[in-house]
Amino acid sequence: MSTQELVKLLDKIDGKGYKSYKDLKGKYQFSDFLLSIDYVQGDPYASPSRIRVEVPGEKANFPSKLFDTPYKKRAAVDFLSRTCASNIGRFYKHVGGSGKSGLLSIGSCGQEMLERNFVVVDQNRVEARLEVGLPAAGRKILGNKAKDIFISALPKIVEASLFYENVLRQELKKKIQLAEDQHVLRDEIKKRALVAFVANGSNLPRESGISQHPLKKGAVAFQSPVEYEVKIDLPHHGPIYGMGIPQGVTLIVGGGFHGKTTLLNSIELGIYDHIAGDGREYVVSSETAVKIKAENNRSVEKVDISPFINNLPMKQDTVRFSTENASGSTSQAANIVEALETDAKLLLIDEDTSATNFMIRDGRMQQLVEKEKEPITPFIDKVRELYENSGVSTILVIGGSGDYFDVADHVIMMDEYVPKDATEKAKRIAKSRRDYREKESSQPANKRKDHPRVLKKASFPKGRKGVKIKPRGIHQISYNKTNVELTDLEQLIDSNQTNAIGFMFQYIMEKLADDQKTLAEIVDEIYCTAIEKGLDEISPFQGHPGNLALPRKHEIAGALNRFRHLNIK
């Protein structure tokens, strides 16, 4: 249909009941783009309507060199998504009305450049996916207000956002170059057997505990110790210097409030590329790094925690350990085993968020409580084995237990936010002051092949009305009346990633769970599907698939493992 027909329709339904907006569903050809109204909300208070605007590739005229690799395309989509959001604010004045009336938006982007589906860019088209709150007074249609959105504002937004000649081309070029530099940096740390790199001059502190924006006043620029400084040549930035953390066991030590956790937090989010101005643009870490913490009261379903915990009272099975309310130590053990199950090669641990009895048992306590009476083999006695036998490195923030000096390869001391090499001093102290702690041993820590966890179809029970899966912000997914709590998955950083995990639950339920595949195999399969076919593939919606960002397979598995209906054989 034409633009004129859209105008006629809006005039026709003006003043009618809200459900008449359903007549708008369809496609409308504007002079330079195609408008698709894919979903129309049934009520002004319901989820907004979903639309797409598509410009043919020959008109949009974006050079293919801007999106000819996955990392360039990710950066281009990030740029165009932010450009659309900016131009919505520039060209559209909220028209108001009841409920969500007048809303016009594109998915939001944070400090990271994630794989998103807000915009599609290729040689055939450039398409932006938007949400619209169709205007109403009460539940009566405001047709003229809707025309302000579709006829007045939308063409201006499209023209300024989706045509190469009209965007800030130099800024787009810089974003693509930054993405290329970050891609090379990630390749280099793999080649050099590093697990993380923190560039000199990085601004690591955030402005508050609830914000990922950089601290603007009083931040100390990062400077690598000489002993860890490496030089990496990047194609656009040129030579860059910074701290390279080698594979193995690394301790971050120092007094309270000297920057230990700030450094670890930057490393844990180094799994993602960051936008210019974030301060962590050149902080990268192993893409398989997983933050491990104690997580009281989480559910655990048939996880082999026996490498860490054995001989529980009442002869509770720790080879197939299950509980509705895990303790600090059992949850931390399960978190490690589950991370290894999805091939994590770097564990990140902060003693402040760990179970003390899981991390250490000192010599005096060993003398008082005999090993036969202590079911926990502390992490200090497993951390070297994980590296030497399985190639799994660990970075630990430690402020209270010098026993870890005995098992560390590297010790970095934070002193007023400045890192210093303290390895030799820590080793001398370890040799000169022993409290005769005995190493405690148990079974190998990486036993994924010994006890594969098969995901049963019964994990996804249906209610009277079937199954309703609804994400609630970043940290929760509702499955019918059961909530999946994700707060402790600290590397899940965007609500659009949680949206994607919600759709993945449904996809797994309908297409993958077969009582044969392991949980790890299913997670690998759905992650590869999202990478190879795109995030749209996992969406149940036709047309506009919803606002999605790609989570890592570690967070997908983490969500499944915290699902209280999870059924494993």
DSSP letters along 204-265, please? --EEETTEEEEP-SSPPPP---GGGEEEEEETTTEEEEEEEEESSEEEEEESTTSSHHHHHH
Query: Which candidate, 548, 536, 543, 533, places its Cα nearest to that of 34?
Result: 543
Question: What is residue 162's predicted lDDT score, i.e. its pLDDT?
Answer: 98
pLDDT score recorded for residue 450: 66
3-state SS, 151-181, equals: HHHHHHHHHHHCCHHHCCHHHHHHHHHHHHH
Question: Residue 315: helix, strand or coil by DSSP?
Answer: helix
Residues facing 246 on adjacent strands: 194
Backbone dihedral angles phi then psi of residue 8, each to the nearest 5 degrees: -60, -40
Is the entire prediction scored with pTM above 0.75? yes
3-class secondary structure, 194 = strand
Q: What is the pLDDT of residue 77?
A: 97
Beta strands in 15-132 (DSSP E): 26-29, 34-39, 49-56, 104-105, 112-113, 119-121, 125-132
Q: Are 293 and 353 in contact (CB under 8 A)?
A: yes
Cα–Cα nearest to 20, from 146, 176, 150, 199 = 146
What pLDDT is stored for residue 474 in this prediction?
96
- Specify which residues 393 forms β-bridges with: 346
Nearest partner of 438 among 499, 503, 363, judged by Cα: 363
Cα–Cα–Cα angle for 338, 476, 397, nearest 5°? 50
At 541 the pLDDT is 93
The DSSP 8-state label assigned to residue 385 in this structure reads H
Ranges of residues in the chain with a pLDDT under 50 are: 447-448
Q: How far apart are CA 196 and CA 283, in angstroms?
A: 8
pLDDT at residue 434, rounded to an integer: 66
The CA radius of gyration of the chain, in Å to the nearest whole number, is: 26
According to DSSP, residue 102 is labeled: T
Are 530 and 70 in contact by the 8 Å Cβ rule? The answer is: no
Q: What is the per-residue pLDDT for 444?
A: 67
Beta strands 289-292; 346-350: pairing state: parallel
Q: What whole-number distance in Å separates Cα of residue 348 and Cα of residue 55?
A: 44
Residues 6+ apart with CB under 8 A from 153: 88, 91, 92, 93, 104
Q: What pLDDT was estimated at residue 210?
A: 84
End-to-end alpha carbon distance in the chain: 54
DSSP state of 414: E
Instruction: Write down the pLDDT at residue 365.
Output: 83
| Alpha carbon separation from 217 to 181, 220, 277, 419, 444 (Å, rounded) | 27, 9, 14, 20, 47
Q: Please give the pLDDT value at position 361.
A: 85
- Which has the closest alpha carbon to 566: 299, 316, 331, 321? 299
> Distance between CA 366 and CA 371 in Å, rounded?
7
Please report, for residues 5, 42, 173, 565, the alpha-carbon distance to residue 35 in angstroms, rounded to integers and kept in the order given: 12, 20, 28, 41
What is the per-residue pLDDT for 374?
80
Query: Which DSSP state fits 565?
Result: T
Q: Residues 6 or more apart from 103 whose CB is under 8 A from it?
A: 48, 94, 131, 132, 133
